[in-house]
Structure 1
Amino acid sequence: MGAHSHSHSHDNIDWDAHLQRLRAADDFIEPDLVEVVGRLLLPDDRSVIEIGAGAGGTAAIFAKSLAGNGGDPQLTIVDTAEQLLAAAGERASDAAEGITVRTVRADAAADTLAAEIHQAGAPAQADLVYAAFVVHHLPDQLAGLRRLAELVTPGGRLAVVEFGLQTRVLPADVGIGAPGLEARLLGASEQWFQRMRAEMDGAVRLPVGWPKAMEEAGLTGATSFSYLVDRAAPLDESGRAAALRQLQMLRRDADELLDPGDVTALDQLLDPEGEHYAGNRDDLHYLSANTVHIGTKP
């Protein structure tokens, strides 16, 4: 799961390539997402609002599950990026019949979020509101949780997915550079994230854990569960692609955060023409843990 997959305020994106990457990531973790949706969606649920479209992989699973619940199921997908909304809406609509799928262009950081969803003709509240890897991008995360809680029907739930344990794909010694490369890459990634938060306009710290924050946002009975994305070596083609996407993400800003020797080693691992290309290794694995935090609207 990409660490920064739902921040879409930037321009000049190669959307075809971006969507291709997001779709591949969705397909790779689909079995895990099916399990998560199965734990979150209750038999009586008739409506879901998903904040952050991605490429629509999770939305498609919600669509299938909601359609199975019967009634008049409603799925609303919210994002700021038109291209992602279109792709996600199409994928969710194709996934199941008998469900109304709406896409709404709106920003989870804006106080007008609920009004914009309502103005788009979508239900203003849902039985389940789901936001994966979205809230950590909001300047004021507690205010963001309160905003999302407004979208939940009384008795419904807000589910927020955030990072549990950092993704690991490499053996401890890759044979180039100093051993322990991945640990140093992950340390640099954490530095990048904290700097991103510190430099964000209007950033407000959230010095409590997510369940506590959800209770401060007016939700009750906050609970959490984690799910593993666990693929052992040797990886198949989709697994190798996922491991390479992870390494490519860790390459961002590596020049200023890492020792030059580690940057050189990482570049060698990412060079398809080189002898040390990670895509040719049979000892890559993929292990990640994400945590789902759930709060109930009184």
Structure 2
Amino acid sequence: MHSHDNIDWDAHLERLRAADELNAPEIAEVVGKLVRPGDRTVLEIGAGAGGTAAAFAAALAESGGEVTVVDTAPELLAAAGERAGAVSDRVTVHAVRADAAEDGLAEAVVQAGAPAQADLVFAAFVVHHLPDQLAGLRRLAELVRPGGRLAIIEFGLQTRVLPDDVGLGEPGLEARLIAARDQSFQQMRAEMDGSARLPVGWGKALSQAGLSDVRSWSYLVDRPAPLDEVGRSAVLRRLQLLRRHAEDGLAPADLEALDQLVDESGEHCAANRDDVYYLTANTVHVGTR
């Protein structure tokens, strides 16, 4: 949950829905591992397009459990409510203040009308955006009922989509793109107001946030070549994301090669290749309050 200024919501939601479609089997598996027989309430921090909320709603449907989604963006909440609401009528969405992640998250959630605590609090790819990530984990832990659990998903291994030599520029382009994005991310974090380093792994950070019985596991999203239309679109989105972070970190020849790969009207567009693939690993970290 972060700034939403100048966002093209139609395009953003299209990307999020496409990601939900690509990752649906893996997310269903993750949700199945997270939801315990006694769980009746799930609180998801960050709405996305509603794919994960829908998976939680399906997992809780038989027990009559409730799924609550909070976010700062009404556009995302509307999409998530529609998507998950089609699965269960026990899904609610609530808008929280834009500064809720920085100060008084529990109070802001209650003020928004959401339950004070839940059996499972879930946040995927949210905490790494917070200036003080450990403080953010402590605030999330306040939303967990005693005996409940906090689960976060963060990046495991970098996504790979290209063969080593794409025939444009020098071999090894993707590795240089990833390095440029890493540099851009670190610079972004350094420039955040109140930024604090987190010099430990996510599992230990959960322990330092006051949680016990911490465990982690990773899951692969493995779509080998040749890809279907969903996979090819995911490759193009990945390269477009890398392009946004590449301007200051790549040589001109690499930028030229990348521009040809993301040019949807050009002969070298990556989405038209039969040798691109999609391979990534994300990690789930869970702790008990």
TM-score (norm. length: structure 2): 0.97
Separation in structure 1 between the aligned mates of residue 266 and residue 112 of structure 2, nearest angstrom: 51
Separation in structure 2 between the aligned mates of residue 41 and residue 104 of structure 1, nearest angstrom: 24
How far the C-alpha of 1:91 sits from its partner, in A, is 1.2
- Judged with a 3 Å threshold, the aligned counterparts in structure 2 of structure 1 residues 285 and 44 are, in CA distance, closer, same or farther, namely same
Confirm or deny: 8 A CA contact 2:69 2:94 kept in the other structure.
Answer: yes
Residues 229-240 of structure 1 aligned to structure 2 (within 5 Å): 229-240=221-232
1:102 and 2:93 are equivalent in the alignment: yes
Alignment counterpart, residue 23 of structure 2, candidates 29, 38, 43: 29
Alignment counterpart, residue 191 of structure 1, candidates 165, 183, 188: 183
List structure 1 segments (4+ residues) > 3 angstroms apart after TM superposition: none
Alignment counterpart, residue 214 of structure 2, candidates 205, 222, 225: 222
Indicate the SS of the match to 1:203. coil
Percent identical among aligned pairs is 68
Confirm or deny: 8 A CA contact 2:240 2:262 kept in the other structure.
Answer: yes
1:69 and 2:44 are equivalent in the alignment: no
Separation in structure 1 between the aligned mates of residue 241 and residue 114 of structure 2, nearest angstrom: 35
Residues 1-298 of structure 1 aligned to structure 2 (within 5 Å): 7-70=1-64, 73-97=65-89, 99-106=90-97, 107-297=99-289
Separation in structure 2 between the aligned mates of residue 10 and residue 96 of structure 1, nearest angstrom: 28
Amino acid at match of 2:283: T
Separation in structure 1 between the aligned mates of residue 2 and residue 102 of structure 2, nearest angstrom: 14
How far the C-alpha of 1:126 sits from its partner, in A, is 0.4
Separation in structure 1 between the aligned mates of residue 216 and residue 245 of structure 2, nearest angstrom: 32
Amino acid at match of 2:157: L
Amino acid at match of 1:105: V
Separation in structure 1 between the aligned mates of residue 100 and residue 159 of structure 2, nearest angstrom: 26
Confirm or deny: 8 A CA contact 1:224 1:291 kept in the other structure.
Answer: yes
Indicate the SS of the match to 2:247. helix
Separation in structure 2 between the aligned mates of residue 135 and residue 42 of structure 1, nearest angstrom: 23
Separation in structure 2 between the aligned mates of residue 228 and residue 222 of structure 1, nearest angstrom: 21
Confirm or deny: 8 A CA contact 2:157 2:281 kept in the other structure.
Answer: yes
Separation in structure 1 between the aligned mates of residue 41 and residue 182 of structure 2, nearest angstrom: 36
Aligned to 1:3: none
How far the C-alpha of 1:93 sits from its partner, in A, is 1.2
Q: Deviations over 1:37-59 (max 9, x none)?
A: 00111111000010111111101
Q: Deviations over 1:201-255 (max 9, x none)?
A: 1100011111111111000011100000000000000000001100000001312
Amino acid at match of 2:230: S
Separation in structure 2 between the aligned mates of residue 214 and residue 108 of structure 1, nearest angstrom: 20
Confirm or deny: 8 A CA contact 1:51 1:108 kept in the other structure.
Answer: no
Amino acid at match of 2:17: R
Count, aligned residues: 288
Indicate the SS of the match to 2:61. helix
Separation in structure 2 between the aligned mates of residue 146 and residue 255 of structure 1, nearest angstrom: 36
How far the C-alpha of 1:171 sits from its partner, in A, is 0.4
Confirm or deny: 8 A CA contact 1:86 1:103 kept in the other structure.
Answer: no
Confirm or deny: 8 A CA contact 1:60 1:91 kept in the other structure.
Answer: yes
Confirm or deny: 8 A CA contact 1:231 1:239 kept in the other structure.
Answer: yes
Indicate the SS of the match to 2:217. strand
Indicate the SS of the match to 2:62. helix
Q: Deviations over 1:100-157 (max 9, x none)?
A: 4232324552322111222233210000000000000001000000000000011111
- Judged with a 3 Å threshold, the aligned counterparts in structure 2 of structure 1 residues 102 and 277 are, in CA distance, closer, same or farther, namely closer
Separation in structure 2 between the aligned mates of residue 100 and residue 93 of structure 1, nearest angstrom: 6
Separation in structure 2 between the aligned mates of residue 29 and residue 88 of structure 1, nearest angstrom: 16
